[in-house]
């Protein structure tokens, strides 16, 4: 086998020898302890605080989004419920190691059962347990191998504690066996711009020391790459470096037509970094991210303070705020705590807000207050809207409470199919390609086993986007895209060709999209989009778009993925 396939994160490419992550620690035995319970408990208490201290230290060193993830892990290490459970298991005759192992496993099972966001946190818990057991054994915690020379790190998966502290001078790329497009590893790799391919089922076959080339654009890991392949990779790297270093200008096509390039944010503190990378405003502020751990609805005052902070970072600019999107991978206890067999198809998004209208009204009041207190141009939208009746419901309440611009997200195919009526009833539409892909392809976006269906290049998804784009044009309403698709430079051109008037993405992706848009006129973008629409599969659509794009610019771009998977 010369090529291994997975899901690429970003468009970069890197090569080096493989260094493997050490295997996890052996499971503690179930033998009864021969020591005093009090001694075992003391040892566990010391180990818990040593691990919490270490994680807090790493959190401080890491900063950025990793800081919160590591800080949360440090809290897990000292969770009172877990500490009590460990003590009870020691009293029951188990060793300290075994008690930690079982107590953490039990808690992990509970989180996994809860599904969605909570299930993703379960992996963090396993990592904390491993660190505590290593501390009890007096062996080094399982972690990143060290080397004096650059290497490609291959692992089953990376714990956030490891990803956060990667020495980017040494780790040139990451390959993981597990994980999907929404795993921690993928999110942190994207934020840190590390070349990564996740979900490589055959990653265990990569032997220590093997030379590999990791291509995030195609999601392919090539064993023993040829000189020619490496030279092509170098050309791509040089092109990507030039793009990242290019002066920041407003997003525009080659014919000068402006395409707003906006940022996706999940917390007010992310605003400054987005401005630095040239965000012309905010295209999606995911308000629910601020309240994932809350059991009670936030007050109008506290919400207004947060929204004012975000809006103040963008004076005179557009800021699109999304009302709370609860459900499935983002459960909010105060909006929907029902047990649902298929939560992605359940009472989520606007449906949950409508069932708790007082919470929706409070949020809109807080937003209206922030709108009056700042000079930003506030647009507010509802998540997971199904049809024109729901559109009218939301827009009416938003206007009643003083919101000047109110719109809806297009994430459900039914909304795309009703796009003309929806656009007429709304001030704007913003396409959430992550969910639109999930629902069009009937593939749960958090399930690794169906990750390959989560591809917004699929012509079925593109055709729905075209319906929304056309409806926007015929009703003169703006149509934004704020899902991950907008962060893929060539797909961004396709989206514009299908009618998107602005694109919103993780700020690290802005430079790549800005540079790609500048290569094509509107007519070019429409031709590229037309080629993708006619293709039979996602892979064929991407290749067809790349072929037309290369023809229009008269040379193949090293950042286009022309390899069909």
- What residues act catalytically? 184, 482
Closest CA to 95 of 184, 103, 52: 103
Q: Residue 175 has which token pair? A: 């390959």
Q: Would you state the torsion angle of the CA atoms of residues 203, 204, 206, 209, taken in this order, to the nearest 10 degrees?
A: 120
Taking residue 107's Cβ as centre, other Cβ atoms within 10 Å add up to 18
336 binds ligand PEP (CB under 6 A): no
Contact status, residue 127 vs residue 165, Cβ threshold 8 Å? no
Contact status, residue 405 vs residue 380, Cβ threshold 8 Å? yes
Which residue in 233, 382, 482, 494 binds ligand PEP (CB under 6 A)?
482
Please give the distance of CA 149 from its chain centroid, rounded to a whole number.
30
Which residue in 54, 157, 329, 435 binds Mg ion (CB under 5 A)?
435
Which residue in 286, 317, 351, 527 binds ligand PEP (CB under 6 A)?
286
* 534 vs 552: CA distance, rounded Å: 18
Phi, psi of 271 (to 5 degrees): -65, -45
Which residue in 306, 363, 386, 433 binds ligand PEP (CB under 6 A)?
433
Contact status, residue 541 vs residue 272, Cβ threshold 8 Å? no
Residue 483 interacting entry, from ligand PEP, Mg ion, none, C-beta within 5 to 8 Å by type = ligand PEP
Q: Would you give the binding string for ligand PEP spanning residues 383-422, x where CB under 6 A is met?
A: ----------------------------x-----------
432 binds Mg ion (CB under 5 A): yes
Site stretch for ligand PEP (CB under 6 A), options 201-209, 238-246, 312-320, 431-439: 431-439
Site stretch for ligand PEP (CB under 6 A), options 31-39, 170-178, 430-438, 550-558: 430-438
Smallest separation, CB 286 to ligand PEP (Å): 5
Taking residue 46's Cβ as centre, other Cβ atoms within 10 Å add up to 12
Please give the distance of CA 271 from its chain centroid, rounded to a whole number.
17
Which residue in 432, 459, 478, 512 binds ligand PEP (CB under 6 A)?
432
157 binds Mg ion (CB under 5 A): no
By beta-carbon proximity to ligand PEP, the closer residue of 269 and 286 is: 286
Which residue in 123, 159, 282, 284 binds ligand PEP (CB under 6 A)?
284
- Please tell me what DSSP assigns to residue 297: P
Three-state secondary-structure class, residue 370: helix
Q: Would you give the binding string for Mg ion spanning residues 366-405, x where CB under 5 A is met?
A: ----------------------------------------
By beta-carbon proximity to Mg ion, the closer residue of 18 and 465 is: 465
- Per the listing, tokens 């395409």 go with 259
* 513 vs 493: CA distance, rounded Å: 8
- For residue 100, give Cα distances in angstroms to 30, 50, 88, 517: 12, 14, 11, 53
Smallest separation, CB 110 to ligand PEP (Å): 24
By rule CB under 6 A, what count of residues binds ligand PEP?
Answer: 10
By beta-carbon proximity to ligand PEP, the closer residue of 103 and 262 is: 262
435 binds ligand PEP (CB under 6 A): yes
Which residue in 95, 130, 195, 434 binds ligand PEP (CB under 6 A)?
434
* 5 vs 220: CA distance, rounded Å: 5
444 binds ligand PEP (CB under 6 A): no
Smallest separation, CB 432 to Mg ion (Å): 4
Q: Residue 120 has which token pair? A: 């993703």
488 binds ligand PEP (CB under 6 A): no
Contact status, residue 36 vs residue 90, Cβ threshold 8 Å? no
Tell me which residues touch Mg ion (CB under 5 A): 411, 432, 435
Tell me which residues touch ligand PEP (CB under 6 A): 284, 286, 325, 411, 432-435, 482-483
């Amino acid at each position: 086998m010369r090529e291994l396939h997975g899901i690429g994160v970003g468009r970069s490419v890197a090569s080096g020898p493989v260094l493997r992550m050490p295997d996890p620690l052996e499971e503690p035995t179930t033998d009864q302890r021969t020591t005093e319970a009090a001694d075992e408990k003391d040892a566990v208490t010391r180990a818990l605080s040593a691990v919490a201290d270490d994680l807090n230290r790493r959190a401080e060193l890491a900063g950025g989004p990793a800081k919160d993830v590591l800080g949360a892990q440090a809290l897990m290490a000292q969770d009172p419920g877990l500490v009590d459970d460990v003590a009870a298991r020691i009293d029951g005759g188990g060793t300290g190691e075994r008690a930690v192992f079982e107590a953490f496993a039990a808690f992990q099972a509970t989180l996994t059962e809860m599904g969605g966001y909570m299930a993703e946190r379960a992996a963090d818990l396993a990592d904390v347990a491993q660190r505590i057991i290593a501390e009890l054994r007096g062996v080094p915690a399982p972690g990143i191998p060290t080397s004096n020379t650059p290497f490609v790190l291959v692992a089953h998966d990376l714990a956030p504690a490891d990803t956060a502290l990667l020495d980017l001078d040494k780790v040139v790329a990451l390959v993981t066996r597990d994980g999907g497009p929404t795993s921690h590893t993928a999110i942190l790799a994207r934020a840190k711009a590390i070349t990564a391919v996740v979900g490589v089922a055959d990653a265990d076959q990569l032997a220590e020391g093997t030379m590999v080339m990791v291509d995030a654009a195609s999601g392919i890991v090539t064993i023993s790459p040829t000189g020619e392949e490496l030279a092509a990779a170098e050309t791509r790297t040089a092109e990507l470096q030039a793009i990242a270093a290019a002066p920041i200008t407003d997003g525009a096509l080659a014919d000068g037509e402006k395409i707003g390039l906006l940022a996706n944010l999940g917390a007010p503190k992310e605003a400054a970094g987005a401005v630095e990378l040239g965000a012309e405003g905010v295209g999606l502020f995911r308000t629910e991210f601020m309240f994932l751990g809350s059991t009670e609805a936030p007050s109008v005052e506290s919400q207004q303070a947060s929204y004012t902070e975000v809006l103040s970072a963008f004076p005179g600019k557009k800021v699109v705020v999304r009302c709370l999107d609860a459900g499935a991978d983002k459960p909010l206890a105060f909006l929907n705590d029902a047990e649902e067999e298929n939560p992605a198809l359940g009472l989520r998004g606007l449906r949950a807000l409508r069932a708790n209208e007082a919470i929706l009204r409070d949020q809109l009041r807080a937003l209206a207050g922030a709108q009056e207190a700042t000079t930003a141009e506030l647009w507010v939208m509802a998540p997971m809207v199904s049809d024109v009746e729901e559109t009218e419901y939301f827009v009416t309440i938003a206007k009643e409470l003083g919101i000047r611009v109110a719109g809806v997200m297009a994430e459900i195919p039914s909304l795309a199919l009703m796009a003309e009526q929806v656009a007429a009833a709304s001030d704007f539409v913003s396409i959430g390609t992550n969910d639109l892909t999930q629902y069009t392809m009937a593939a749960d976006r958090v399930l690794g086993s169906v990750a390959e269906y989560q591809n917004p290049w699929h012509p079925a998804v593109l055709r729905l986007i075209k319906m929304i784009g056309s409806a926007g044009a015929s009703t003169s309403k703006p149509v934004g895209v704020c899902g991950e698709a907008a962060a893929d430079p060539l797909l961004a051109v396709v989206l514009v060709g299908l009618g998107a008037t602005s694109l919103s993405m993780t700020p690290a992706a802005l430079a790549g999209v800005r540079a790609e848009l500048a290569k094509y006129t509107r007519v070019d973008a429409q031709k590229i989009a037309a080629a993708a629409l006619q293709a039979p599969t996602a892979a064929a659509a991407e290749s067809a778009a790349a072929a037309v794009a290369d023809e229009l610019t008269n040379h193949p771009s090293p950042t286009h993925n022309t390899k069909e998977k």
